[in-house]
Amino acid sequence: MPKDPSYLRLYREGKLQERALQAVEQLRDCAICPRECHVDRLSGERGVCETGRKAIVSSFNAHYGEEAPLVGSSGSGTIFFSACNLLCTFCQNYEISHLREGVEVEPEQLAAMMLRLAKSGCHNINFVTPTHVVPQILEGLIVAVENGLQVPLVYNSGGYDKVETLRILDGIFDIYMPDFKFWDADTAMKFCNAPDYREHAKAAIKEMHLQVGDLEMDGKGVALKGLLVRHLVMPNDAAHSEEVLRFLAKEISPHTYVNVMDQYRPCGEASKDPSINRRITSEEFEQAVDWARQAGLTRLDARQRGRRILFF
């Protein structure tokens, strides 16, 4: 683990504080994600994510169900934010993302969560669904740094991120772990009302890779810095997996660490759509893995099918 994460240098230079102020000010006419709702969240107005001035946290814990490079021997320190800017109809965390179960937190409370996870031995602080609360995370991070935080940070998003916001985070996050959910615009429109998902996910992942590069690990296989990408295989190839995996290999890097996930199960409103109202078959999953290998991807997350359910 680096003794001096880059966000500590930014803090000492006053740049972390400047970035936080810049991000918070953007809440006044919110366009921090591709939805660009232009509501005044500082005054309590709410857009698609239904989140106002304060972040909502559902839970935080040392998580052992994440990818092996994040978990290591002591777990990934996950903080699960409620609400979401994407709101997939089949979300496995529907109660958190759509129904916003959780409590609003102040920066000091968010910092206390980070510090508690770090002190328990977690290898990183893993912010799950952070896109709509980037300003609040930065406010909490400042307090955490002032109280001794020194572990890598993970940006664990749905992939529907805005490049301009990611640039505010340059040098702050050590590890990016986005989803690349859909390739087809009609599919993205159908399941999350975001026909521009592919364009934003492509641009976001390119920016993430530009900032942190391919995944780097220490001698024990624990992630230090870099990009991991998750892709959820869906029934009837609704996600168009071959195109997604080819993009990652050809336009990002053949060394991109990719988790081709078989954890899809009908949740949320999936039962209303016969095309996705079932789990995937072994053949569908194996076909997706073959597509990844054929595309030239060399670093696929290794795990036995059906062993774990991941949060994403």
Tens-place pLDDT, residues 116-127: 999 999 999 999
Residue 161 counted as domain residue: yes
Q: Is residue 1 part of a domain?
A: no
- Please determine, for residue 306, whether its predicted confidence score (pLDDT) is greater than 80: no
Residue 71 has pLDDT above 70, yes or no: yes
Q: How far apart are CA 293 and CA 221, in angstroms?
A: 22
Task: Give the closest residue to 54 by CA, choosing from 33, 35, 82, 95.
Answer: 82
Write the pLDDT tens digit of every residue in 266-276.
999 999 999 99
Work out the end-to-end distance of the chain between its first and last CA atoms, rounded to an integer number of angstroms. 25
Give the mean pLDDT of 241-255. Answer: 98
Block residue for tokens 């054929």: 294
The arithmetic mean of pLDDT across residues 237-259, rounded, is 98
Residue 176: closest CA among 230, 130, 227, 251:
227
Q: 310 in a domain, yes or no?
A: no
173 falls within a domain: yes
| Residues in Cβ contact with 159 at an 8 Å cutoff, skipping those fewer than 6 apart | 178, 179, 180, 181, 197, 200, 201, 204, 205
Question: How far apart, in Å, are the Cα atoms of 308 and each of 59, 65, 68, 264?
Answer: 19, 6, 12, 11
- What is the C-alpha R_g of the chain? 18
Say how far apart CA 259 and CA 262 lie, in whole Å: 9
**Alpha carbons 302 and 68: distance in angstroms, whole number:** 8
Taking 90 as the threshold, does the pLDDT of residue 213 lie above it?
A: yes
In contact, 159 and 136? CB cutoff 8 Å: no
User: What residues make up the domain containing 293?
Assistant: 6-300
Instruction: Please report, as a single letter, which amino acid is at residue 30.
Output: C
Decide if 251 is inside a domain. yes
Does some domain include residue 307?
Answer: no
Mean confidence (pLDDT) of the chain: 94
Tokens of 18: 């400047």
Neighbours of 212 (CB within 10 A): 21
Q: What is the count of structural domains for the chain? A: 1
> Which of 121, 128, 127, 134 lies closest to 24 in space, CA to CA?
134
At 4 the pLDDT is 73
Task: State the Cα–Cα distance between residues 127 and 300, nearest whole angstrom.
Answer: 22
Tell the burial category of 181 from Cβ atoms under 10 Å away from its Cβ (0-12, 13-18, 19+): buried
Confidence of residue 286 (pLDDT cuts 50, 70, 90): very high
Which amino acid, one-letter code, is at 213?
G
Which region among 178-192, 228-242, 298-312 has the lowest average model confidence (pLDDT)? 298-312
Residue 304 has pLDDT above 60, yes or no: no
H/E run at residue 17: helix 15-26
- C-alpha separations of 262 from 76, 249, 288, 301 in Å: 21, 20, 10, 12
Can you give the length of the chain in residues? 312
177 φ/ψ sector (left φ>0, alpha ψ -120 to 50, else beta): beta
pTM above 0.85, yes or no: yes
Rounded Cα distance between 109 and 111, Å, is: 5
Q: CA 139, CA 143: separation in Å to the nearest integer?
A: 7
Q: In the structure encoding, which two tokens stand for residue 284, read together?
A: 């569908």
Instruction: Quote the pLDDT of residue 302.
Output: 76
pLDDT tens, residue by residue, 172-192: 999 999 999 999 999 999 999
Is 154 within 8 Å of 125 (Cβ atoms)?
A: yes
CATH number, domain containing residue 181: 3.20.20.70
In a domain, 45, yes or no: yes
Q: Is residue 309 part of a domain?
A: no
